[in-house]
Structure 1
Amino acid sequence: MARRPTIKDIARRAGVSESAVSFALNDRPGVSEGTRARVRRVAEELGWQPNSAARALSGERCGAVGLVLARPAHTLGVESFFLQLVSGIQEVLSAGRTALLFQVVDDLDAECALYRRWWAERRVDGVLVVDPRTEDPRPELLARLGLPAVTVGGTGAPGPVSSVWADDAGAMARVLDHLHALGHRRITHIAGLPTLAHTARRIASLRTEAAARGLGRREVRSVVTDYSDAEGAAATRRVLAEPEPPTALVYDNDVMAVAGSAVAAELGIAVPGRLSIVAWDDSALCRVTHPRLTALVRDTAGFGRLAAEELLTVLAGGPPRAREGEQPRLEPRESTAPPPAAY
């Protein structure tokens, strides 16, 4: 393997001392502008890059931020949300030549242990925390460690670390508005993991909005899953087999909605003739499925950009704060219609 160039190699080729190279590359006084330009030119010619570990040990930033996912691995490969989120994060980080260190772990305990190790090893300058929990130890832990962090998908309430959040309650209200106006009174929400804060907010909002319209818990309810297409399909099959099945289903992601649509087709239940379907996150899947699925549209990549920008602000010394992302809008398509009179 080729040997990595060092400061000594740069000094030799530029005809200056190693200390002069250090001054030039770190924008410190002590060398002329001509020498600084020559040193940087030589460093570029040699392909030299600073050693992030050495910089971290010296108290400088290491040039990387961390992102950890504590979810079942099988639920990640088919869901477009995280790909879009990471693309937005990476767009901001790459512009500032900041690396993204990504890792998947088994559970929340493993995630917290990883944060402690990253902090002790000075592996990252800060972290983006996803999937906030209803009872979440991570913000307090990160504040205690002094590891800069931004929670992605928080509640909007003040906390020990910064957060970016979306109005899940308002989005659920818009979905129920749409279905109620069409005449639906039996609505089932095929929800995600119940320990996630945004799932809990959606479930609570569904109950509140249903009660405001005079609908009880037997007519409008939530069924929890793990976000996967398999569990989404299984939950769909169960609720459609009930004596009084729902006339509308609201899915917490696009993958489950498409899986549910396939189950309805298999059972001979026409969409939207007998069953209306709404997907929480819009994607290409929702737009190519027949019929095309009514969905909540939001700029997920933009949400990722907002989170990365906020983390860079925190790293620059900004105080903890909560920033709201763009509100999702409902895009009615062919999968929703009034329920049949017999239902």
Structure 2
Amino acid sequence: MRRPTIADIAREAGVSKVAVSYALNGRPGVSDETRRRIAAIARQLGWAPSSAARALSDGKAGAIGVVVDRPAEVLGVEPFFMRLMAGIQNGLGEGQTSLLMQVSSHQAVELDIYRRWHAERRVDGVLLVDLRVEDARLDLVTGLGLPAVVIGGPLGRADLPCAWTDDAAGMTEVLDYLAALGHRRVVHVAGPAEFVHTSVRAQAFAAATARLGMTESRTVHTDYSDEGGASAVRRALVAERPPTALVFDNDVMATAALGVAQELGLSVPGDLSLVAWDDFGAVPAGPTGVERAAQAGGGLRRAGGVHAAAAAGRRGGRGPGRRAADVGRPGQHRATPNGALT
């Protein structure tokens, strides 16, 4: 079915296209009665304003963009991103700003997507997820003049607002807890080393295990998938001196570890303690013996909403933290292990 246009509304209402434009855009030049009649006809025909035309007229696309550079098969089983997207959408609310999400195969493709979105005026701003240790996106978006908010950090730069979880504090609490239970050999099953949050957790793990005398503890890196997690766990548990506790960067890998432990005839928690980082409910708690480390999911979801609003507002000339200030301190936000947003 052909999309209705202003010309169709004008023909149905018996007025000029200029009158329809004035009526639908709230501009003076038509009577209230005519404005109401034109609006009713527009609704009846199913007319909606063109995002491309609106971008040309007021410079706003009415959308916030998110590019996720993760394998599609990982996203299909990873609850973190779905929770994060829900938080972003809650931040956008029921207004006229939409969420545009795209999956890329590698970072070069992701960078091209930002360039294209900016050139085509597809989005008013972007949210950058999975902050990397050496992240080319930061200079790219600032160089383009594309408003952006980083979910990760802290960045140490004033031109990009950000929100992050205090991963170091969370990891330290986990290791203190395991040490109190008597564990001395712990393996941290982490995500890719290129991510900032992985690096922060691994550094905190190394510092805490050294302080606590856990000299046979180490971090191993995977791809966040259940297959990757299961493979890392199997190698660790068949070693000459296997760990007595495992800490996982997400629930997906912890769930896979339960199956591996069962294969090897190990009891959880009798022979092996497991800690899952996300606390999104993907891993059963209680009788299984799996502890869930509160990763401040609620705080990060709230931060996603805060900075979705911030990114939406920056195109209109507001400063980098003005919209965030509506609900919290502008600029940089840290979600603590207990879920509080600071």
Aligned-partner SS, 2:282: helix
Unpaired stretches in structure 2, ≥5 consecutive residues: 322-330
CA displacement at 1:261 relative to structure 2: 1.5
In structure 2, C-alpha distance between the alignment counterparts of 1:29 and 1:47, rounded to whole Å:
24
In structure 2, C-alpha distance between the alignment counterparts of 1:100 and 1:229, rounded to whole Å:
28
Q: How does 1:129-208 map to 2 (within 5 A)?
A: 129-155=128-154, 157-208=156-207
Structure-2 residue corresponding to 1:341: none
Structure-1 residue corresponding to 2:336: 327
Say if 1:307 and 1:289 are closer, same or farther in 2 by CA, change over 3 A: farther
CA displacement at 1:283 relative to structure 2: 2.5
CA displacement at 1:20 relative to structure 2: 1.9
CA displacement at 1:4 relative to structure 2: 1.3
Residue by residue, what CA displacement relative to the aligned partner does 1:257-298 show, whole Å, maximum 9, x if unpaired? 010121111101111111110001023321268505211232
In structure 2, C-alpha distance between the alignment counterparts of 1:233 and 1:247, rounded to whole Å:
16
- Residue 304 (str. 1) matches residue 304 (str. 2): yes
Contact 1:190 1:224 in 2 (8 A): yes
Say if 1:294 and 1:260 are closer, same or farther in 2 by CA, change over 3 A: same
CA displacement at 1:59 relative to structure 2: 4.0
Structure-2 residue corresponding to 1:272: 269
Contact 2:7 2:17 in 1 (8 A): yes
Say if 1:171 and 1:288 are closer, same or farther in 2 by CA, change over 3 A: closer
Q: Which runs of structure 1 show a deviation greater than 4 angstroms over 4 or more consecutive aligned residues?
A: none
CA displacement at 1:315 relative to structure 2: 3.5
Structure-2 residue corresponding to 1:212: 211
CA displacement at 1:159 relative to structure 2: 4.2
Contact 1:164 1:306 in 2 (8 A): no
The CA RMSD over aligned residues, in Å, is 2.0
Residue by residue, what CA displacement relative to the aligned partner does 1:142-180 show, whole Å, maximum 9, x if unpaired? 111111111112225334322121111111111112111
Aligned-partner SS, 1:235: helix
May I ask how many residue pairs the two structures share in their alignment?
327
In structure 2, C-alpha distance between the alignment counterparts of 1:178 and 1:289, rounded to whole Å:
17
Say if 1:254 and 1:234 are closer, same or farther in 2 by CA, change over 3 A: same
Say if 1:135 and 1:20 are closer, same or farther in 2 by CA, change over 3 A: same
In structure 2, C-alpha distance between the alignment counterparts of 1:117 and 1:33, rounded to whole Å:
41
Aligned amino acid, residue 281 of structure 2: A
Aligned amino acid, residue 304 of structure 1: G
Say if 1:125 and 1:187 are closer, same or farther in 2 by CA, change over 3 A: same
In structure 1, C-alpha distance between the alignment counterparts of 2:229 and 2:83, rounded to whole Å:
21
TM-score normalised according to structure 1 size: 0.89
In structure 2, C-alpha distance between the alignment counterparts of 1:325 and 1:26, rounded to whole Å:
40
In structure 1, C-alpha distance between the alignment counterparts of 2:221 and 2:94, rounded to whole Å:
39
Structure-2 residue corresponding to 1:246: 243
Contact 1:156 1:165 in 2 (8 A): no
Say if 1:288 and 1:176 are closer, same or farther in 2 by CA, change over 3 A: closer
Residue by residue, what CA displacement relative to the aligned partner does 1:115-153 show, whole Å, maximum 9, x if unpaired? 111111111111111111000011111111111111112
In structure 1, C-alpha distance between the alignment counterparts of 2:161 and 2:318, rounded to whole Å:
9
In structure 2, C-alpha distance between the alignment counterparts of 1:301 and 1:67, rounded to whole Å:
15
Aligned amino acid, residue 64 of structure 1: A
In structure 2, C-alpha distance between the alignment counterparts of 1:241 and 1:204, rounded to whole Å:
25
| Identical-residue share of aligned pairs (%) | 50
Structure-2 residue corresponding to 1:61: 60
- Residue 259 (str. 1) matches residue 268 (str. 2): no
Structure-2 residue corresponding to 1:225: 222
Structure-2 residue corresponding to 1:318: 318
TM-score normalised according to structure 2 size: 0.89
Contact 1:156 1:324 in 2 (8 A): no
Contact 2:285 2:291 in 1 (8 A): no
Aligned amino acid, residue 9 of structure 1: D
Moved more, 23-32 or 106-115: 23-32
Q: How does 1:100-139 map to 2 (within 5 A)?
A: 100-139=99-138
Aligned-partner SS, 2:219: strand
Moved more, 129-138 or 316-325: 316-325
Residue by residue, what CA displacement relative to the aligned partner does 1:43-75 show, whole Å, maximum 9, x if unpaired? 112111111112223343121221111112221
Residue by residue, what CA displacement relative to the aligned partner does 1:8-40 show, whole Å, maximum 9, x if unpaired? 122223333211221222222333333333322
Contact 1:156 1:164 in 2 (8 A): no
Contact 2:124 2:311 in 1 (8 A): no
Unpaired stretches in structure 1, ≥5 consecutive residues: 331-343
Aligned-partner SS, 2:64: strand
Structure-2 residue corresponding to 1:80: 79
